[in-house]
Amino acid sequence: MSYKIRFAEEKDVSTILHLIKELASYELLLDQVVATEEFLLDSLFKKKSAEVIICEYDHQPIGYALFFTSFSTFLGRAGIYLEDLFVIPNMRNKGFGKAMLSFLAKTAKERNCGRLEWSCLDWNEPSIQFYKKLGAVPMDGWTVYRVTDDALTNLANL
């Protein structure tokens, strides 16, 4: 197969946003996407809040992964938190998701990170089975909490 995984560059912003919207559509959350090319350019390439890798097949983008550095106080080391992993539907089950996860694992090892972790929607059984085959373990007993919008503003004003 003629594929390539590479770190995204500023010129990829429109591609990244397009793939984010495809992922959101798959997750039935497209109405929640408020990201713009300008936001992504600022966050990813100016502030460097996160990084993106793009998977290309025959020079066409077919998937991406967006990740950022996390930190484990117990390990005393950084980690990589994978926010998004997405492969377009007609290119699934061909090894591209696995290749991107392997790329991120190698990146984590090169950066001396203690772990690579991510969240998965409870209903996404194909992804859950895929992750388990790779040796990933669900974090039973942990629940993700989130504060957004008015709740975030209210908390900030306490």
* Listed residue (94, 18, 95) closest to 52, CA to CA: 18
Copy the structure tokens of residue 137: 């373990």
- Here the contacts of 143-152 (C-beta below 8 Å, separation 24 or greater) are 144/119
Q: Which of 3, 57, 81, 131 is catalytic?
A: 131
Alpha-carbon gap, residue 54 to 34, rounded angstroms: 21
Which residue blocks in 12-148 are alpha helix, DSSP H? Answer: 13-26, 37-40, 96-110, 125-133
Alpha-carbon gap, residue 105 to 100, rounded angstroms: 9
Query: What single-letter DSSP state applies at residue 44?
Result: I
Query: What single-letter DSSP state applies at residue 41?
Result: I
* Whether residue 131 lies in the annotated active site: yes
Residues designated catalytic = 131
